[in-house]
A and B are shown apart, each in its own frame.
Chain A
Amino acid sequence: MSDQHSGTADGTDTSAATASGTEASDTDTASADAATAGAASQPLLRVEDLQKSYGDETVLRGISFDLDKRDVEVIIGPSGSGKSTMLRCVNRLTEFQGGAIYLDGESVMAMNDNDLRRRVGMVFQDINLFAHLTALQNVTLGLRKVRGMGKEAAREKAMDQLDRVGLASQADSYPAELSGGQKQRVGIARALAMDPELLLFDEPTSALDPELVGEVLEVMRDLAEGGMTMLVVTHEMGFARRAASSLMFLDEGRIVERGPPEQLFDDPEHDRTAEFLQRLTTISEEV
């Protein structure tokens, strides 16, 4: 496992699209970035020629892209295209075999994995709330055991996060007593509490009943508007259109196309993108 560049051409050219990906509406972003010295020149996340295989099966075949602070990247693609795997490489829940990932200029391979995960939060498809802890305790566990905060301080901070996702009143409920949408909002609060620089969302709404999807997307939209840097695997095209700064279409372990959402929706370069988006919108209309 190294930072070695194998130099495969596939997908590397798409990184150029990043620049255009951030344009929409973000004049305040620019000024915020300028405030942090050097941030303008360095992306928050840089993925370079990422390769990953499970045994004989190659899942990622050279993925490269940059993500700036406050960017919201939505990743779409058919099942098995490597979306989730790519996300898991970023916080090293999965190890990768080739390429490199830099967080704020630092290779994630060189970082302690616990430190990395403290800086990169994750929200899961199957939610995975700690089943034996209340909503509040789910949020405080990381604060207490990872960040070493005191009981009261952790509690206060956790309540703020629960308030942020609109669940302060459910602080003492156990996961089994919450609806799916509420659970996922606690999951988001749990990730937020660690003050992550980057939040990964792995199909956060696909395990939810349709009527519960809205409340979760609303929280995510608020986060995006608040300037959180997000990498979101989702097929919620409404969210992509409204909140994403950039959309990425992944297929067979490669980036097929990447750009501003309007561009991919209205004028995709590749037929495959058009076809896939067509199918997604049809399905979501049926639902």
Chain B
Amino acid sequence: MVLSLASPPALDAVDWVALAQFESGDWAFVREQLPYLARGFVVTLLLTLTSIVLGFLAGFPMGAIEVYGRGPLRSFVYGAGVVLRAIPIVVILVFMFFVAPIPLPGGQFAFDVPRVGSVSFGRSAFLAATVGLGLRSAAYQAQIFRGALQSVSGGQMEAARSVGMSRLQGIRHVVLPQALRRSIPGFQNEFTIVLKDTSIAFAIGLTELFARADNLFTQRTTATLELFLFISLVYFIMTFVTNRSLDYLGDYYAIPGGDR
């Protein structure tokens, strides 16, 4: 794993000592660049959050419309969902950045993060990435909520109506609390998917974690393997922590005796 396989020479021709220094030099390079990468990490986290939140804000009503809505609105939501789920995220991102009629602000976002330093990234790329990842996520979150809403049995609604609640009250106080709990496992997947897919925003030049590793790799091509293994590890830890936290959330809100 530590060996660079850039040009496999005959084994006896390898200068192992030089190679060892060379390799450790590449790891040292990664270490040197940690602050630079850490700033990218902040952008990745931020983009994940904004995208998930946008996805939730748009996806939740979309799911409800697919279950309770009717007419052209429902057809539109359904159609938009099919299209958003069928197109590769990289196409969506590039489209949002170059084509979509959204007013993208120019310039840089910059702010200081304690111990990491000044984080800055392009406003337009960040906004386009948020809209792209967010809308795609909305299409998937809508499916999660739709499935969860449909999984709450019809008897629950009947029971709510029988104690005098209106349809809307029944949805709000009886169906929703159950459906939201049931959507936690699906939401968990969605969260990690968005987290990993933020790496594709490098295609529109957003300087998040992956793009920064890519920049460094063009600076120092021998450190490629080290760089990408390192950021893979960072992504892995992020998905792992996310999954465990959401597991915990699921357990915390679990209804005794009820399935999630």
Touch test A–B (CB under 8 Å): no
